[in-house]
């Protein structure tokens, strides 16, 4: 999978609730350019959550393409994700985009990568970005050993990751389904 830098996105599915969150830091190299960016979107009339890690302009392009696929396939998240991954891998223009997408609906949580991968984590917890591994570890521990709901796990997991990853901060946006 292509690495995506300079953000942390964490998604958790627990007890019928789905939460997806991201930090708000935007960096260029080792310089913080913005503290409160919003990297999570609701798509498909609020039925799908999507977050990105990587280049912002690339992510906006992917959000638009993904939303188009959701519309084309009647808001079927899995089918839209597979079709976007196919296009992303084979299209000359899209192939150069440097980002990862994390997408969730009531049924699926998926990571979509430009190399053609559509990955569904078996435990319902996903993370991408430079702080993704830290957030994933924190999310799994909190899921197993706390009474937090999905939103609480995402918030605390992102806070823990921001304490470790220099490309993440505590200006967090969380959306839930």
pLDDT band at 90 (very low <50, low <70, confident <90, very high): confident
Cα(163)–Cα(145) distance, rounded to whole angstroms? Answer: 20
Q: How many domains does the chain have?
A: 1
Higher pLDDT, 69 or 99: 69
- On whether residue 143 sits in a domain, the answer given is no
Residue 1 confidence (pLDDT) above 80? no
Q: What is the pLDDT of residue 142?
A: 98
For residue 138, tell me if it sits in a domain: no
Average pLDDT score, the chain? 92
Known catalytic residue at 90: no
Catalytic residue (choose from 7, 8, 27, 31): 7
Indicate which CATH number applies to the domain containing 22. Answer: 3.60.20.10
- Single out the residue of 66, 47, 155 nearest to residue 107, CA to CA: 47
Confidence at residue 91, expressed as pLDDT on a 0 to 100 scale? 83
Specify if 148 maps to a domain: no
Comparing C-alpha atoms, which of 97, 27, 95 is closest to residue 58?
97
Domain housing 45? 8-123+156-168
Question: β-pairing, 48-54 with 40-43?
Answer: antiparallel
Domain-embedded: residue 102: yes
Contacts of 54 (CB under 8 A, 6+ apart): 4, 5, 6, 7, 97, 98, 99, 100, 129
Q: Is residue 177 in some structural domain?
A: no
pLDDT for residue 99: 84
Is residue 175 situated within a structural domain?
no
Q: Is 151 part of any domain?
A: no
Residue 114: per-residue pLDDT:
81
Q: Indicate if the alpha-carbon torsion angle 9, 53, 88, 2 is positive or negative.
A: negative
């Amino acid at each position: 999978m292509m690495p995506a830098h300079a953000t942390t996105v964490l998604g958790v599915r627990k007890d019928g609730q789905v939460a997806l969150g991201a930090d708000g830091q935007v960096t260029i190299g080792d310089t913080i350019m913005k503290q409160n960016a919003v990297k999570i979107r609701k798509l498909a009339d609020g039925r799908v959550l999507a977050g990105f890690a990587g280049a912002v302009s690339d992510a906006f392009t992917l959000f638009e393409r993904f939303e188009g696929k959701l519309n084309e396939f009647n808001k079927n998240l899995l089918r839209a994700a597979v079709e976007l991954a196919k296009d992303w891998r084979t299209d000359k223009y899209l192939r150069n985009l440097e980002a990862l997408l994390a997408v969730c609906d009531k049924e699926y949580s998926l990571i979509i990568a430009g190399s053609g991968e559509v990955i569904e984590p078996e435990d319902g917890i996903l993370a991408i970005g430079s702080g993704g591994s830290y957030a994933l570890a924190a999310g799994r521990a909190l899921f197993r050993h706390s009474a937090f709901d999905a939103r609480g796990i995402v918030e605390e997991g992102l806070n823990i990751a921001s304490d470790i990853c220099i490309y993440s901060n505590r200006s967090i946006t969380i959306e839930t389904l």
